[in-house]
Amino acid sequence: MLARDLLPLLLLTSCSAGGGAAIATGADASTADAALDASDAPEAIFETGMNEGGSCRQGDGWIGVDADEDYDHDGWSIAQGDCNDCDPNTNPGAYDVPGNGVDEDCSGVADDEPASCDDGIDLTSNDPQDGARAVGLCRFAQESPADPRERTWGVLSAAYVLADGTLGMHYASHGILPDFGPFVHPQQGSRLLALSSAAARRPGDTGYRDPVQGDMGTSCATPPGWPKDFPSCPDPVSTTPIANDSASLALRVRVPTNAHGLSFKLTFYTTEFPGWVCKQFDDYFVALLGSTASNPGAQDGNIAFDPQGNALSVNTAFLEVCEPQVAGGKAFTCLQGNQALEGTGFEASSEEPHGHAATGWLETKAAVTPGEDAELRFVIWDAGDHLRGSTVLLDDFKWIADPGTKPETIRVENPK
């Protein structure tokens, strides 16, 4: 969901009298002017669904707006359900910004976007829409509704697929978890989505298997353009375009008309630490965004990468949940310690006395185009073999209203 601190003044609650526009319906200009004199922040005074026209304040005067006109050019007229045809950020396709007292989506109720929608989802649910809910996407939209009021933002389609987009993903390669051990909690709602090149389970869960063993029995092509070399490795890592044990949630989403970016949180766990740093068998996680917006630095659509340009893997600069050591000729300071490995299957064991490693919670941001149909695929796979799996946890999807969002992944300073 969309946090208030991500929403700039771009999302107008009403248009100011000084060069902006306020709207009035069912009243003549003199009545509307009197209302303006009584308030420094005029708001629309018509009701959704009224077929009369209205008036928008422009400078010192009023401009008549026909019910079918679409004065603000946002794709909806008053007759089609636009409850403020002076503000392009207000229409049935907008995100209803929480906490500002304004009904941006013209539902008739201000601030009514659901805060979460993942309570009670079963860990083993095979419904990909439940995967979207676990990530934090709570609206599901119709492809081509007859009524313009139903042309809302939301998930248009969701599917669990292999890395190449085909069917055949192992059912245990995804899971909807209430936590990941005692120290890793959902960042929004009560569930998070796990995708794994092993089993997306915690020790004790139905279907759990040691992530070192991996091998979910699937192979397919990698996403186009992948795999890639890791800038953090001293030599090129020779890999083939084959994705073993892959897991992916593929989403197609209609973007809100007042959103210019998106964000989500993730944390990546891998058993390839410490013994397989910069090897040809290393797992990959990528978040592939298909959007008409410009996202410089996103290689072949991947918006989840570290400051050096590495995709998330054992070779990422974000690997900080571990025990300090030298591995693969590189020093790992492990600034976050190894507590977050406990109870996950990635902690210390007889096979690996010092435990494996994770990134800790990260946040990825990228640009989208308002109102477009965007594609977003979360993909994890094993390169070169079927052993030593990795798991990614995904949660807390949000829309960003601020134009100019650039693709980046940063550490979350104070995760829940």
pLDDT tens-digit series, residues 120-146? 999 999 999 999 999 999 999 999 999
Q: Are residues 78 and 144 in the same domain?
A: no
Query: What local confidence, expressed as pLDDT, does residue 18 receive?
Result: 29
Residue 121 within a domain: no
Count how many domains the chain has. 2
The domain of 188 spans 128-411
What percentage of the chain has pLDDT greater than the value 90?
75
- On whether both 101 and 138 belong to a single domain, the answer is no
Q: Do residues 166 and 295 share a domain? A: yes
Task: Give the model's pLDDT for residue 52.
Answer: 64
Range in 82-86, 96-100, 195-199, 367-371 the model is least confident about: 96-100
Would 398 be classed as within a structural domain?
yes
Range from 38-52, 144-158, 262-276 carrying the lowest mean pLDDT: 38-52
- Structural domain contains residue 122: no
Cα–Cα distance measured from residue 105 to residue 102, given in angstroms and rounded to the nearest whole number: 9
41 or 158: which leads in pLDDT: 158
Residue 322 pLDDT > 50 = yes
- 77-126: per-residue pLDDT in tens? 999 999 999 999 999 999 998 888 989 999 999 999 998 999 999 999 99
